[in-house]
Each structure stands twice: as structure tokens, then as C-alpha cells.
Amino acid sequence: MHKVQFTKTMLKGMAGFDLQVKSGNASIQEFLDAMNEFVEKAALPRLWPPNCSNCYGCNLCCHEPLPVTSIDVENICRALQIDFIESFKYLWVQVQGNVVDITLKRKKGHNCIFLNQEGICKIYSARPFLCQSFICSNVPESLNEIRSQIVNQGMDELVRKAIMAFKSRGKAIPVNLGSTRYVNLNDWPRNCFSDKKSYSKILLKNVLSSDLMRVLLL
């Protein structure tokens, strides 16, 4: 049995699903593996392409801004065989005051930079956490909360890592929109993503709030 379990159910009168964490030692990777398998097999109704119960041939969700984590960037670097500094060719960095957002770059027409001309993801097996945990279906509120808490901390670590990597080369973090004037390393403390190279090394209980873990473990 998976440490994270997904089950089809009715939510607010519509077909949807729920999830439960069955072990306090479940990792983010185990969550993703269970979700990928469930989404593949469950034939849930999709809300975006009408009358559809799978994702094959669809890329409607590959046009939205896509925030990334330090581990997403590790995975992209491994898939493309590039280093951390080079990965910024594919990232969009936006700064407002001391708030830094890092997303995947998008091409003209807002397509994700990794969507090829045939509408296929060029890095599918290394696609970011938010891509792997999204389904345009009737989803439980807990899934939205898991996604938001994981990405917030993972992006904080990406910003910390980027500030340090560029600083070691005597440069500021490259910014596509805004200015680094108020960006200060002290605002980005280490967290449970620090020094981790894969999602299998981070336990859900170390990244999610204790309130959310309690609900998920019920």
C-alpha cells in the first residue's frame, strides 16, 4: 500500500477524489508517485477539455505561470545536463520590493518554454512539482494547501541558493522584471529544502504545517 492514498469520491456533489497520508514518514516523492499513478488510472473527469477523462493530447495547463522550487531546478539541470547558473536561461525572475518570484519562462503566446511545437513537454519525466500535482478536476482543498506549502518553501530555498550562487561570482541574481535593490540574503533563511537534491529526501511532515498533517493523517 502507498504511504499516500488517493481515493475517488464525490466532492460537493461532483465526481472527484480525496487523499490521505498513511505514514508519518511519507516523502514528497512518495506523494508525487502516488498522485501520478492515481491520475493515470482513475479516469477522473477533466474540467478544462470538455468530455475528457485523461490528459492525453492536452496541454491546456502548460500556459500558466509556473512557480518552481530548488528541487525542480535540480531536476531540470539533471535532465538538460546543465549547471545551476545556466538554468536561469529557462527561468523568469520577478522582484517587487523584497519579494522574489521564480517561474518557468514562457514563450510568445504564453506557452511554457518546455512545451515543444507538437504540444509535448520536453522535460516530462523531470517536470516541476506543480505540473505533477495538478489536475483540472474536482480536487480536495487539502491538495491545494499541500501544493502551496511545498512550493512556497521550495521557492524560498531556490531564491536563497540563487542569491548565494550569483554572489559567489560577484553578481546579483538575474532579474527579468523589477530590481534587486531590496533583496537581502538574510531574508531567506535555510529551510527543509536546503542541501536536498531530490523530493525523496524531504518528508511531508517536515514541510507541511502540523495542522495540515493532522488532517491528512486522519
Which residues here bind ligand SF4, judged by CB under 6 A?
A: 46, 48-49, 52, 55, 58-62, 66, 104, 112, 114-115, 121, 123, 127-128, 131, 134-136
Closest CB to ligand SF4 among residues 113, 172 = 113
Query: Distance between CA atoms of 94 and 178, rounded to whole angstroms?
Result: 6
Closest CB to ligand SF4 among residues 21, 66 = 66
> Shortest gap between Cβ of 161 and ligand SF4 (angstroms)?
20
> Shortest gap between Cβ of 137 and ligand SF4 (angstroms)?
7
Q: Which residues contact 107 (CB under 8 A, 6 or more apart)?
A: 113, 115
> Shortest gap between Cβ of 217 and ligand SF4 (angstroms)?
27
Closest CB to ligand SF4 among residues 66, 95 = 66
CA 43 to chain centre: 23
> Shortest gap between Cβ of 190 and ligand SF4 (angstroms)?
27
Closest CB to ligand SF4 among residues 55, 85 = 55
Query: Distance between CA atoms of 143 and 211, rounded to whole angstroms?
Result: 14
Closest CB to ligand SF4 among residues 148, 184 = 148
Give 25-80 as a 3 state SS string: CCEHHHHHHHHHHHHHHCCCCCCCCCCCCCCCCCCCCCCCCCECCHHHHHHHHHHH
> Shortest gap between Cβ of 128 and ligand SF4 (angstroms)?
6
Using alpha carbons only, give the angle 170, 86, 71 rounded to the nearest 5 degrees: 100
